[in-house]
Chain A
Amino acid sequence: MDDLLREFLTETAEHLDTVDVELVRFEQDPNNKAILSNIFRLVHTIKGTCGFLGLPRLEALAHAAETLMGKFRDGMPVTTPAVSLILATLDRIKDILNELEKHSVEPNGSDHDLIEALERMAATEVHTEASTAIAPASSVGSLTYQVLERALLPGEVPLDELERAFRETPGPEATKPESAIVMPVESGTAPVSAEEAAEAVSAKVQTIRVNVDTLEHLMTMVSELVLTRNQLLEISRRVEDNSYKVPLQRLSHVTAELQEGVMRTRMQPIGNAWQKLPRVIRDLSAELSKKIELVMQGADTELDRQVLEVIKDPLTHMVRNSADHGIESPLERKAAGKSERGTIRLNAYHEGGTITIEIADDGRGLNFAAIRRKAAERGIASEAEVERMSDAQVAKFIFHPGFSTAAAITSVSGRGVGMDVVKTNIELIGGTVDIRSETGRGTTFTIKIPLTLAIVAALIVASKDHRYAIPQVAVLELVRVTPGSEHAIERINGTPVLRLRDRLLPIIPLSKVLSTSSEEDVNEGFVVVTQVGRQRFGILVDGVFHTEEIVVKPMSSKLRHIQLFSGNTILGDGAVVLIIDPNGLARMVGSGTEDGQMQSDAALEQSSVENEETTTLLVFRGGGESLKAVPLSLVTRLEEIDASTIEWLGGRPLVQYRGRLMPLVASDEELEIKREGMQALVVFSDSDFAMGLAVDEIVDIVEDKLDIELVADRSDLVGSAVIRGRATEVVNIAHYLPLVAESWMRSGQPVGMASSRSVLLVDGSAFFRDMLTPVLKAAGYKVHSAGSAAEALGLLSSGTGIDVLITELDLPDRSGFELIASLRSSTRYAQLPVIGLTVRHDPRQVAQAHKLQVTELVAKFDRRGLIAALAELHGSLEEAA
């Protein structure tokens, strides 16, 4: 196949996917000229290219569809049959493209059926409308080939003009805020629009297409490089020859960056996996006579394409399931006092090293009684057992193979792909699925998957004389246990448990599950606290070494049946080490995991989570006696460096870190950065800037409710809080930033909104969101946060009650002013008080802010100013009320 054709196929497939999505949107919002323009332009592009490449069938189809859409543009009412017809045409085009891909020639066949239908549809309307149609629709079909050959010439001029007109009208980007409030579905198309924008502005962002195999190969080579680097580092740890340490360090940095870079090339927005969903939902709604709205958030969340491939089908399956089983018919919904239109909400976001995807519907929820009955019938559990189980446990039965409670098998569900397949697929890539359901309120599936499969951070542990790797993602904390100490293993009827913060943690001695030891009562060692889904348990090991980036190699087929291991790897010292799969471990310790004490433990936790939000905090000592803490989510890494590597430039400490210079700052004036020995660092970083906070020692990582009392006189502290029963100072990272970096502020950080009670904080940097959230909470506000204008609009349109919006003025996806402007143009939020956060003082900004009725502009680092502005606002709102 020649390159031109291949290029055409790839590009057209992308365009068609976009058209699919856009059409569904257009049907719901037929007055949106911008969407129509976009569709028209894409179809026109397809048509034009087909003509150029000499593909008459495709060209004729595209032309007929374009003609009908031209009628829409001229004011013909947009009807469901018309849209269905165009969608059917697109499906035909896709079929032809598939054939084309296989055989490099257009398949034989006739499309007269569709073309005639399209013409008829277009022609009917000509009678009722003032006939301003661009193309003589009636003659198109019979003369297909010639019309295209000839008609292109006379037809081209107006079309070109049309196209120019389209480009001049505001594109989808500009209208996004408005439409996002109505229906945030379109976020999935964002990457595509960006691409087109690039086309239009003549390649502002340069891209090239690279064969996936090339990337895969590159990835493999980088993996090998990482291994070799690890081996070298291991050797250098043993050998006292410093001459090559510096180049080795450099090699290490370069490798790390190379690895990161290659990984990034493999990243794709999850929206790619969602593209087909609006169409799926539209077709399903029609088929099932339900009214369903699909809301997609976080479509730009990126993940490894390999992972993306694996989850694509399960996701589609789950969305279908929600539409079929979850959402009730409009009548039922009405009877239940809900709005007729059901909502399926997809949400994706990053969390630690994993991506969380939620699929939530507001339908009828699971029928627990039916599942109980079915479980007993199928003999999965006895009736008595089933009765005793909690709803949460019962819900898990739907993941059992062949489990279906659907009374009737519909054309939508019951096609043989069950939830068990979904679960298996997701677990295959080290992910977990969790389900929460409430009768009458809906069901939420939560999928957690690793960002990438190839290289993972793992904790190396020892059990007996062997080493094993446990993926870091699953590890919550490490606890050292010794008999007689605060943390000692106790036994209930021989089963080991650990009291951890007043909760009983089930303990699984690794040597026991591995059958490498017959000793029943091991009481010493380390407990690796692990979480799988909502289950938490401790793995007891003899020793803990270090964390290492490992390249996951698949298990030999002879060993794949051992569910305890997910793979193996070669460590820096050349030893082969098995990778423990926490999911498998949880399964192996028996059904007890699914329905025994761990579950009850999980239930306990769930309730506690619901009652009060906890924050994970890093507790450290740094100057003075008191403990200090900082939200762990802000922390990038913990490091311990040789103090002799600290360089002093103009009296300011710097250290070479990952190939860059990283400024250091002492956590307290009383703390002196060491000149020799080891210096502990807490590293904070934003996309391209890092800062090291020098501390005395890292004490612990704790999860606790963060209840901050503000302190007035110290800018280096947010306030103090009682953490684990001890008064702890919560450090204000923002205080340190200006000390070390002007550059930190260069990239846009939006702050969300604040309301008299409920505040929405929009800021592009997770760091600042995390930093400001506790400050605002401390001041008594309920805080919602968003990382982009689109996300903020999604939140607002979802009906979250927001009283004040705090937004950074330079948002990543759009300027904060645009966000405000789009709010001002909506009726609901026209009066919403807005506080703008700004980095620099700029009279033009002030003027624009004034125009948009921005209540207050506050400097970004001025948290006190922000609180004051909020308080003032609060006061005035109360007065008004």
Chain B
Amino acid sequence: MSISQPTNNDVTRTKGFAEMIEYVTVTVDGQLLGLAIDRVHDVFVASEMTSVPLASSEIAGLLNLRGRVVTAISLRRRLHLADREASGRRMAVGLEHSGEAYGLLVDEVGEVLKLNPEALQPNPVHMDPRWAGLSQGVHQLQDRLLIILDVDAVLQFDTQLAA
């Protein structure tokens, strides 16, 4: 997990309650997850994906996004969830990491939420460590819980394993 990486959220959180943070919410396998909006470039439909043989399992393939080649990463696989059976429209969240473009494949993209960072609670201690490594904490919404994803951690994984 990336303890050493102070993210934008950490920085903003210290600035007091007036500073609200906006999150793009997505769903995978029924779970609501949030991505800091300043990391999200765009949201698009992932069509015509080229699969890459021999790549690590998290990599779903390559996409052409307006003339740019984007590496698509399956959030389900990053969270060690089973692949979705129904193959409808696949939504992707466009992210950037070390100068490269990525598309994070999710089940659905929801609304944008404005939340007070002071309300962010740490991960429950018994959270699956594989999830905890990708999560910065949990927001309690009225009817459900929102896990805040650490974008850098999500995009950082060992590629050599698959080789």
Contact = CB atoms under 8 A, between A and B. Distances in A.
A574 B71 CA distance: 15
A737 interface: no
A558 B56 contact: yes
B26 interface: no
Contact of A556 (B54, B71, B160, B163): B71
Contact of A557 (B48, B63, B69, B98): B98
A754 to B, nearest CB: 54
B55 interface: yes
A564 B54 contact: yes
Which one of B61, B159, B160, B163 has the greatest number of beta carbons of chain A within 10 Å?
A: B159
B163 A562 contact: yes
Interface in A552-591: 553, 556-562, 564-565, 568, 570, 574-578
Contact of B52 (A553, A557, A570, A578): A578
Contact of A574 (B48, B102, B157, B160): B48
B52 A562 contact: yes
Contact of B48 (A514, A561, A575, A578): A575
Interface string B44-59: 0000111111111001
Contacts of B51: 466
A558 B71 contact: yes
A485 interface: no
Contacts of B7: none
A556 B100 contact: yes
Contacts of B159: 557-561
A578 B63 CA distance: 11
B62 interface: yes
Given A553-B69, A575-B48, A576-B62, A515 B54 contact: yes
B140 interface: no
Contacts of A556: 62, 69, 71, 100, 102
B98 A575 contact: no
A20 B39 CA distance: 53
A516 interface: yes
B63 A576 contact: yes
B57 to A, nearest CB: 12
A568 B100 CA distance: 14
A224 interface: yes
A575 B67 contact: no
Nearest to A516: B53
A632 B51 CA distance: 37
Interface string B119-147: 00000000000000000000000000000
Contacts of B160: 561
A451 interface: no
Which one of A561, A570, A577 has the greatest number of beta carbons of chain B within 10 Å?
A: A561
B71 to A, nearest CB: 4
A23 interface: no
B160 to A, nearest CB: 6
A574 B49 CA distance: 11
B56 A576 contact: no
Contact of A562 (B48, B54, B61, B157): B54
Nearest to A551: B67
Interface in B62-105: 62-64, 67, 69, 71, 73, 98, 100, 102
By size class, the interface of chain A is 20 to 34
A45 to B, nearest CB: 43
A559 B158 CA distance: 11
Nearest to A556: B71
A561 B56 CA distance: 10
Interface in A495-533: 514-516
Nearest to B48: A575
Contacts of B100: 556-557
Contacts of B61: 576
Given A556-B100, A562-B54, A576 B69 contact: yes
B69 A570 contact: yes
A466 B59 CA distance: 16
A694 to B, nearest CB: 39
Interface string A449-468: 00000000000000000100
B111 to A, nearest CB: 30
Contacts of B163: 561-562
A658 to B, nearest CB: 25
B64 A574 contact: yes
Contacts of B63: 576
A519 to B, nearest CB: 15
Contacts of B54: 514-515, 562, 564
Given A556-B71, A556-B100, A570 B64 contact: yes
A227 interface: yes
Which one of A553, A556, A568, A570 has the greatest number of beta carbons of chain B within 10 Å?
A: A556
Contacts of B52: 559, 562, 565, 578
A783 B99 CA distance: 55
B69 A558 contact: no
Given A561-B163, A570-B67, A514 B53 contact: yes
B46 to A, nearest CB: 12
B68 to A, nearest CB: 9
Which one of B49, B52, B53 has the greatest number of beta carbons of chain A within 10 Å?
A: B53
B62 A558 contact: no
B69 A568 contact: yes
A561 B163 CA distance: 8
Contacts of A560: 159
A577 B50 contact: yes
A851 to B, nearest CB: 64
A380 B131 CA distance: 42
Given A562-B163, A568-B69, A575 B53 contact: no
B52 to A, nearest CB: 6
Given A556-B71, A557-B100, A576 B55 contact: no
A512 to B, nearest CB: 11
B67 A227 contact: yes
Contacts of B67: 224, 227, 570
B59 A575 contact: no
Given A227-B67, A515-B53, 18 more contacts: A514-B53, A556-B69, A557-B159, A558-B55, A558-B56, A558-B71, A558-B159, A560-B159, A561-B160, A561-B163, A562-B54, A562-B55, A564-B54, A565-B52, A576-B61, A576-B63, A576-B69, A578-B62
Interface of B: 48-56, 59, 61-64, 67, 69, 71, 73, 98, 100, 102, 157, 159-160, 163
23 contacts: A466-B51, A516-B53, A556-B62, A556-B100, A556-B102, A558-B56, A558-B59, A558-B71, A558-B159, A559-B52, A559-B55, A561-B160, A562-B52, A562-B54, A564-B53, A564-B54, A568-B69, A570-B67, A576-B48, A576-B63, A577-B50, A578-B50, A578-B52
Q: Top 9 closest A-B pairs, CB basis?
A: A514-B53, A556-B71, A576-B62, A576-B50, A562-B54, A576-B64, A558-B159, A570-B64, A553-B69
